[in-house]
Structure formats: structure tokens, C-alpha cells
């Protein structure tokens, strides 16, 4: 598949050692740079001034591996982690034995054994959860999540007013911002005022900011910030270092005549005699169907457009303008980060990351 004029693109994509092993994998290689995760945490920690910088590792560390991420960040100095549900806590506890691990969804029915067994701290969201927690795990640490306007999770103001007197000794009082990625949105200040009013005088450490809130300024940072996406290289932390690279092998290359169709529905038609590369990854691997005919792949420094719909296990790209077709094309890399790919697919970097499937060979670097 190579010709002498293409050393540059080919070299850029030359697989690292142990390629023989990964070549047997069907859908390509996902490089995860834990060194970059550590540097992103360090940068957010520095930016947070006096506030402690925690780390959100829900959804298996935004798809990159909660265990390895938590281990790397604990080594870097992170002491507080957040997961979405109790069942995610075990991997984090194993990776960071001395850390505090909070659970956003609080204390749901059936959680007691896991909360106790792994020493997890539920963030109580409702009067029902508070009753359950006191009955099932009296004396076990808890935090409080209040709803300051997002309308999703947390005690509502009336419930909080009624329970506040008995919910003493909380390890953390927190709330979540709905519009932190839009700094000028008036909802940010409204939620800040509501959070202050609801938590003033409680005596518990407080936390309001995720990645976006951390960047809104010191007023939003309180005692602890809880970045997630910024650690993994995504917006709204523009200063983040990219964490992932993804290359996908070419299965087959074909020449098609002008007018030929490609893929399901033949939504792509050759406007000239064309060369089509078929790659071994698809929407079952998180390369969501909305990318079809919109996103680009990269051969070294050269972009090639997807041609046609994304299939479950395959992609097709128009490689007519490449002097030669490398053995793999890059989906995520120096020329296209998670947010650029997300934009082409009409979504956000969070969804691209968390969708990355289990079939990739995962290469962790920079532990
Ligand atoms: C997901 C989440 C975070 C982290 O958000 P990012 O935007 O990824 O930084 C923080 N707090 C809560 C409650 C969350 O659900």
C-alpha cells in the first residue's frame, strides 16, 4: 500500500513496537496519555488557587479507565474523587486506597453494602435518601447535594430547609452549574447566589464548580473544585493537553468509477473516479453514525473526508487525493482532537470520549 513518495505520512503512522499484537485487534489502537491527564490536573489545581482540586472519574474515567486515571492522579496528589454511582466506586477505591470517593447519585436502594465495603461517601439528594442513609448506615459519612437551579439532582430548597437542622456533619455541601460553559449566562450568578444562600453557615466544606465553573473565577471555587472533562483534554478547558490518540486500520482499498455509490443508502456518490479506503471501526466503537459524510480522518498531515454513512464496524473514506494509502488512518490525534471531531458530528467532546468502545487495543502511556 505504500509508494516511495509517501514516507512522511507512512512514517507518522508507523505503529510503535508490539504492533504485531495490536494488528490482531479488529478496530485500531487507542493511546491514552496518563502523563497528560496528570499535567491537566496539575494545571487546574494551580488555577484553583486555595481551593482543593478533586477529580471526576465517573463513566469509567470518561471512557479512559477509572482505575488507571485515579491511580495516576492519586500519585500526582489528588485526594478526592467523584463517581456517578456506587458501583463505580470499587475500581477507584482499589486505585486510590487513601482518597475520599464521593458518589453523585447519593444513596440509592441497594447501595449500602457497596458504600460501606468500599468506604464511599454518598451525596444525599432527597429526603428519601437521607432516611435510607440514616437507617442503613448510621454514622457513615455523607455529603449533601442541593439543587440551585439545574433541576436535575439534589435537595430542593424546601426539602433542604426542612432537613438542614438534622443534616449536620456533612463531609461536603455541593451543587452543580447548568451553564458554566457559557461564562456570560446569567444563570451562573443566579446559581452562585442560591448556593451561597442555601449553604452559608453550615460549617461543611463547599463545592460548586466542575471544569467550567473552575474557569469562571474565584467566586465559584469555594473549598473544592470538581473538574472532569478538563482532565481528559476537553473543552471548556482550552488550555488542556490532548490525552487520546486513535488510529484505525485500513482493511481494504478500492477504485470506483464516477457515479458509483458508497455505503448504506449510497449517500456518497463519486463525482470523479475515486479511491475508497474501508477502515475497521464503526459506530459500535463510538464513532457515532452522525459523523457519516461529515467528519475527516487524517493520514499524517493530510485530511481525508469520510465517504458515506458510518456502519456498525466499518468506515469508508475518500482517499483519492492521497499519494498512497497508509496502513491506518488517524481519527483522533494532533490534527483533530475530541472537540473537533465532536463538532463535525454535531455533539460534544464528552460524548466522543465516553463512547469510545471496548474493541480498541488500549495503550496507556505516561503512567
Ligand atoms: C460530570 C460532573 C462533574 C464534572 O463535570 P465536567 O464538566 O466534566 O468538568 C462535576 N460535578 C457533577 C455533579 C457532575 O455531574
Q: Is residue 159 part of a domain?
A: yes
pLDDT at residue 331 above 80? yes
Task: Quickly count: other Cβ atoms within 10 Å of residue 199's Cβ.
Answer: 24
pLDDT at residue 337 above 90? yes
CB neighbour class for 50 (10 Å; exposed up to 12, middle 13-18, buried from 19): exposed
pLDDT at residue 6 above 80? no
Interval 256-307: pLDDT, tens: 999 999 999 999 999 999 999 999 999 999 999 999 999 999 999 999 999 9
Interval 357-367: pLDDT, tens: 999 999 999 87
pLDDT at residue 9 above 70? no
Task: Please confirm whether the linkage preceding 11 is cis (ω < 30° from 0).
Answer: no
The region, left, alpha or beta by phi > 0 then psi within -120 to 50, assigned to residue 263 is left
The mean of the pLDDT values for the chain is: 93
C-alpha cell at 136: 442503613
Q: Is residue 216 part of a domain?
A: yes
Q: Is residue 74 part of a domain?
A: yes
Identify the CATH number of the domain in which residue 335 sits: 2.40.37.10
Same-domain status, 214 and 248: no
Average pLDDT over residues 215-235: 98
Average pLDDT over residues 330-338: 96
21 a catalytic residue = no
Share of the chain above pLDDT 70, in %: 93
Share of the chain above pLDDT 90, in %: 92
Interval 133-150: pLDDT, tens: 999 999 999 999 999 999
Task: Quickly count: other Cβ atoms within 10 Å of residue 186's Cβ.
Answer: 9
Same-domain status, 204 and 261: no
Same-domain status, 213 and 279: no
Pocket test for ligand 1, best of 150, 176, 222, 349 (most atoms within 8 A of CB): 176
pLDDT at residue 12 above 80? no
pTM: 0.92
pLDDT at residue 8 above 90? no
Helix then strand then coil, in percent of the chain rounded to 5, is 35, 20, 45
Check residue 155 and report its DSSP letter. B
Average pLDDT over residues 116-145: 98
Check residue 306 and report its DSSP letter. B
Give the pLDDT band of residue 66 (cuts 50, 70, 90): very high
Same-domain status, 221 and 342: no
Residue ending a domain, choose from 185, 202, 232: 232
Q: Is residue 3 part of a domain?
A: no
pLDDT at residue 17 above 70? no
Give the pLDDT band of residue 27 (cuts 50, 70, 90): confident
Same-domain status, 191 and 75: yes
Q: Is residue 100 part of a domain?
A: yes
- Cβ–ligand 1 contact at 226 (below 6 Å): yes
Same-domain status, 172 and 317: no
Same-domain status, 152 and 252: no
Q: Is residue 221 part of a domain?
A: yes
Torsion over CA: 72, 81, 242, 308 (sign): positive
Same-domain status, 272 and 210: no
- Cβ–ligand 1 contact at 56 (below 6 Å): yes
Same-domain status, 83 and 227: yes
Per-residue confidence (pLDDT) for residue 367, from 0 to 100: 78
Identify the CATH number of the domain in which residue 116 sits: 3.20.20.10
Same-domain status, 23 and 38: no
Q: Is residue 157 part of a domain?
A: yes
Check residue 328 and report its DSSP letter. E
Give the pLDDT band of residue 3 (cuts 50, 70, 90): very low
Distance from residue 209's CA to the centre of ligand 1 (Å) = 8
Same-domain status, 304 and 283: yes
- CA–CA gap between residue 173 and residue 171 (Å, rounded): 7
Average pLDDT over residues 67-87: 98
Residue ending a domain, choose from 194, 211, 232: 232
Residue ending a domain, choose from 232, 258, 275: 232
Interval 148-185: pLDDT, tens: 999 999 999 999 999 999 999 999 999 999 999 999 99
Domain count, the chain: 2
Q: Which domain holds residue 339?
A: 8-30+242-365
* Contact assessment for residue 220 and residue 209, using Cβ atoms and an 8 Å cutoff: yes
* Window from 17-21, 232-236, 340-344 with minimum mean pLDDT: 17-21
Per-residue confidence (pLDDT) for residue 182, from 0 to 100: 97
Interval 252-261: pLDDT, tens: 999 999 999 9
Interval 43-53: pLDDT, tens: 999 999 999 99
Give the pLDDT band of residue 26 (cuts 50, 70, 90): low
- CA–CA gap between residue 274 and residue 284 (Å, rounded): 27
Distance from residue 261's CA to the centre of ligand 1 (Å) = 43
pLDDT at residue 20 above 60? no
Same-domain status, 222 and 315: no
Pocket test for ligand 1, best of 48, 52, 80, 82 (most atoms within 8 A of CB): 82
C-alpha dihedral (249, 255, 257, 260), degrees to nearest 10: -30
Distance from residue 124's CA to the centre of ligand 1 (Å) = 16
Q: Is residue 2 part of a domain?
A: no
Identify the active-site residue in 232, 264, 350, 360.
264
Amino acid at each position: 500500500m505504500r509508494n516511495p513518495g509517501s514516507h512522511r505520512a507512512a512514517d507518522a503512522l508507523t505503529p510503535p513496537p508490539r504492533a504485531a499484537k495490536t494488528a490482531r485487534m479488529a478496530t485500531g489502537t487507542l493511546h491514552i496519555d496518563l502523563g497528560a491527564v496528570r499535567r491537566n490536573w496539575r494545571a487546574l489545581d494551580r488555577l484553583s488557587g486555595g481551593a482543593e482540586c478533586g477529580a471526576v472519574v465517573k463513566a469509567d474515567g470518561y471512557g479512559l479507565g477509572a482505575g488507571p486515571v485515579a491511580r495516576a492522579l492519586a500519585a500526582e496528589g489528588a485526594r478526592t474523587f467523584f463517581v456517578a454511582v456506587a458501583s463505580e466506586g470499587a475500581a477507584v477505591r482499589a486505585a486510590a486506597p487513601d482518597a475520599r470517593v464521593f458518589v453523585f447519585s447519593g444513596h440509592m436502594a441497594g447501595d449500602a453494602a457497596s458504600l460501606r465495603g468500599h468506604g464511599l461517601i454518598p451525596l444525599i439528594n432527597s429526603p428519601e435518601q437521607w432516611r435510607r442513609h440514616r437507617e442503613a448506615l448510621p454514622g457513615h459519612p455523607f455529603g449533601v447535594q442541593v439543587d440551585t437551579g439545574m433541576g436535575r439532582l439534589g435537595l430542593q430548597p424546601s426539602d433542604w430547609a426542612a432537613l438542614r437542622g438534622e443534616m449536620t456533619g456533612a463531609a461536603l455541601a455541593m451543587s452543580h452549574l447548568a451553564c458554566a460553559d457559557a461564562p456570560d449566562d446569567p444563570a451562573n450568578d443566579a446559581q452562585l447566589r442560591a448556593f451561597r444562600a442555601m449553604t452559608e453557615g453550615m460549617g461543611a466544606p463547599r463545592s460548586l464548580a466542575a471544569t467550567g465553573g473552575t474557569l469562571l473565577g474565584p467566586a465559584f471555587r469555594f473549598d473544592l473544585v470538581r473538574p472532569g472533562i478538563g482532565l481528559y483534554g476537553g473543552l471548556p478547558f482550552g488550555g488542556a493537553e490532548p490525552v487520546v490518540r486513535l488510529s484505525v486500520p485500513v482493511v481494504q482499498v478500492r477504485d470506483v468509477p464516477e457515479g458509483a455509490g458508497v455505503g448504506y443508502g449510497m449517500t456518497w456518490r463519486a463525482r470523479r473516479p475515486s479511491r475508497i479506503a474501508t477502515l475497521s471501526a464503526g459506530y459500535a466503537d463510538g464513532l457515532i453514525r452522525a459523523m457519516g459524510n461529515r467528519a475527516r480522518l487524517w493520514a499524517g498531515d493530510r485530511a481525508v473526508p469520510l465517504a458515506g454513512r458510518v456502519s456498525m464496524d466499518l468506515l469508508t473514506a475518500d482517499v483519492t487525493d492521497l499519494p498512497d494509502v497508509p496502513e491506518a488512518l488517524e481519527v483522533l490525534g494532533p490534527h483533530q482532537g475530541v472537540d473537533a471531531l465532536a463538532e463535525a458530528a454535531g455533539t460534544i467532546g464528552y460524548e466522543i470520549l465516553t463512547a469510545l468502545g471496548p474493541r480498541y487495543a488500549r495503550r496507556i502511556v505516561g503512567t
